Every structure is written in structure tokens, then in C-alpha cells.
Amino acid sequence: MSAPSGGNQGNYGGSGNPYAQGNQPQGGNPYAQGNQPQGGNPYAQGGQRMPGGPGGYPPSGQQPYGSNPYSQNPSNPGSGYPPQGGAYPPQGGAYPPQGGAYPPQGGAYPPQGGAYPPQSGGYSGQAGSGFGGPGTGQNPSGSMSNDQRSQRLNQVVQQYEINPQFAARLQALGTCEIVLLCDDSGSMNTPLQSSNQTRWDELKSLVNIIADICAVMDSNGIDVYFLNREPVLNVTNTQSMRHVFNSPPQGLTPLVPALRKILAAKRNQTFEKKLLILVATDGAPTNEHGQTDIGALEAVLRQERTAQTYVTFLACTDDLESVNYLSNWDKSMPNLDVIDDYRSEKAEIQRVRGPSFPFSFGDYIVKALLGSIDPWFDALDEHA
């Protein structure tokens, strides 16, 4: 949704809207063939800007996103990129003056010269399975060297076709304790209107990517809570989630007690770092009698969070009427963001930025992870 978080407004480095209309740079995907860094951190300080090359987007067959049901390129079903023409914005948060070259960038890419290291585990999850991503079987980041962590981040960025401008901001997650609250109520069995998946299937895919990204950024992984079953803590490997998701969703939508449980368990940690809670749900909260109780959830969000607690709601449904109660909260509550389902979010961003603007499912996950923390993402679906 396009409204900015109440407590996260501000300038974007003094440069205005980084996606201002009419300022799209020329050039292709900075991950074009032949322009890829040599296994190191693509966000290392002091590197040189990687120019757009004539190779454009990666060809079919290079690091496909499995059987991605959200593929954006009809000519390449494994690719999350559209046909060429909508180049990525430059690093740094804003476009350079017209007619001049980009200035040196402090967080840009290292010198060219080699391809990304080969990936050890491709994303094998089929539509509807949700698991078996590239993080499966990988060591937790706590056992990685810095070079291994950088290599792993490169793999995740490629595997999930993440916009490099988005990926450069993932470092902010290193200062967060991340918790995912999953709706496992009976309504999650509902099929999505625009695919052969259920809401539960889509949630599994979402958890898979979030776990892969967060395992790189935080050696402790993420804690995954549910509304009607026991949590799984310190998830760094999606294999550990298989047994949980094998049980079909059932029950009511007790968001309030589940959220209170998380806030109580993590309260002491908010004195040291930010607490980021991602709430993936398909409907309104219910009380113990099965009656809708939106007011109780609003009271928890307004009165029981610390200043270091950030909350993002992800709509796990293409029936946006069922989560319409969230529509105004990100305008009036600090440190809170609301994200529509992937298809609706993509449509809104491309309506504002143009139909060729790349927005893969991996981009959607990064926007969800950072939406309540980084106000830069508010500009994506806002008019200039």
C-alpha cells in the first residue's frame, strides 16, 4: 500500500524521490553477463559503479527462480525480469543530474572482472511446495566467513532475482531481531483467484525466501510463530519448517494473543536492537469466541509496542476486502507498514513507475522486510 509509515517519514538523503518520474537511467541490468563481481560483496565500500551493458538481463537458463509462479517474462518462464527497457535506478538513493555521469558511489559494486560463484543448491521448490530453496542444507551464517557470507548473499540476490538497488539496503536487517507471525487459520486453505495455489502455498514460498535472506544477515536466523500451533525458533534452514507446513491450516485467527506472546518474549531484546515483526495474514483478527475484534489488535499496536518495535502486515490473499481494516493504519501508526499481496503490489508499483519497472517476487519480499524500517520504500508506489 502506498501510504508512508507514520514514524518513518523524512528525506531520502536530501535527493528527493529516488524514483522520480522521467529520470530513469539508461543501461541494462547491472548483473548483465560479463559485469559481475568476483565472488566478493557487491556492496563493498569504495567499489566502482557497474555500468549497464549491452547484454541486458541474464539469459534464459542462468540461475532460474525454479518454477516461479510469478515469472514476469513470458519468453523466459524462470525469470522474474520483464523485457529490457526499464533499467534499474542507480545506487545512492537518487538519480544524478541530467547530462552527466554518475558520481563515485560509496556503496557501489566492486571492479568488474568475473562472474558470480556457482550456486551449490538451486531453488528446487515447485509451485505449491514452497520449500527446497537455495538455503536448504547451507550452514548458518554464524559458521560463515565474511567472504562466504558475501558469496551467499550474491547467490540469494541472483536466485530470487532481487533488484540490486533493493539488495543494497538489506544490510539494515543486521540490526534487527526478526520474527515472522504466520496465519494458519482455516481460511488459508482458500485457493488464490489468479493461480492454482492456495494462500497456504503462497505463505510457504514467502517463508522460504525470508528464511534464506535472514539466515545470511543474522546468524540466529528468524523465529517463526503461528496462530494455532507451536513456534519454530532460530530458523536458518527451511528444511526445519517442512514438518510444520505439512499439517494443513485450521482454526480461528487469534492475532492479538499471538502478537502479545511475541512482544512479551522479545521485549528485553528491544533495548539492544530493533524488533521486526512480519505478520502474514488473510483476514481480520478474531477473539476466543470466533468473533471479529479489530479494536483489540489496534490497541496492542498503539499501546503495547516499544519505540524499537516495527511491524509489517503482509496480505496473504488477493481478496483485499478481507484485510481492508489495515488500510489506514500505516498512515496513522509509527513504525508500521502494510503490504498488499504480490500481484496487487506489483500492479500498483508498475502503475506509478511504468509497466517495464522490474518487480520480482524476491523484490516483493525485500520490500516487505524493509518497508516499516526504511522509508525509502514508500516512494516506490507513490506519485512524484
In CATH, what class is 141-381?
Answer: alpha beta
Q: 31 pLDDT exceeds 70?
A: no
**pLDDT-derived band at 330, boundaries 50, 70, 90:** confident
Least reliable range by pLDDT among 110-114, 242-246, 283-287, 322-326: 110-114
Q: Where are the domains of the chain?
A: 141-381
Least reliable range by pLDDT among 123-137, 204-218, 254-268: 123-137
Nearest to 130 by CA among 223, 199, 227, 214: 199
327 vs 269: which has the higher pLDDT: 269
- In sequence order, what E strands does 211-366 have? 222-226, 232-235, 274-281, 309-315, 336-339
Reported as a single tens digit per residue, the pLDDT across 153-188 is 999 999 999 999 999 999 899 889 999 999 999 999
**How far apart (Å, rounded) are the C-alpha atoms in residues 321 and 125?**
30
**How far apart (Å, rounded) are the C-alpha atoms in residues 175 and 236?**
17
- Mean local confidence (pLDDT), 352-361: 93
**pLDDT-derived band at 384, boundaries 50, 70, 90:** low
To the nearest whole percent, how much of the chain has pLDDT over 70?
Answer: 62
pLDDT of residue 233: 94
**pLDDT-derived band at 383, boundaries 50, 70, 90:** low
3-class DSSP state of 179: strand
Cell of 199: 494462500
**pLDDT-derived band at 146, boundaries 50, 70, 90:** confident
pLDDT of residue 229: 95
Report long-range pairs for 146-150 (Cβ below 8 Å, ≥24 apart).
146/41, 147/39, 147/40, 149/216, 150/39, 150/40, 150/41, 150/42, 150/44
CA 218 to centroid of chain Cα atoms: 15
**pLDDT-derived band at 240, boundaries 50, 70, 90:** confident
pLDDT of residue 69: 46
Least reliable range by pLDDT among 48-52, 242-246, 324-328: 48-52
**pLDDT-derived band at 1, boundaries 50, 70, 90:** low
| Average confidence score pLDDT of the chain | 71
∠ CA 57-359-83, nearest 5°, is 35
331 vs 231: which has the higher pLDDT: 231
Q: 192 pLDDT exceeds 60?
A: yes
**How far apart (Å, rounded) are the C-alpha atoms in residues 301 and 295?**
10
Nearest to 318 by CA among 182, 185, 184, 197: 197
- Mean local confidence (pLDDT), 18-41: 41
Torsion angle in degrees (nearest 10) through CA of 202, 122, 111, 51: -50
**How far apart (Å, rounded) are the C-alpha atoms in residues 2 and 222?**
27
**pLDDT-derived band at 64, boundaries 50, 70, 90:** very low
Q: Tell me, yes or no, if the pTM score tops 0.85.
A: no
- Mean local confidence (pLDDT), 210-231: 91
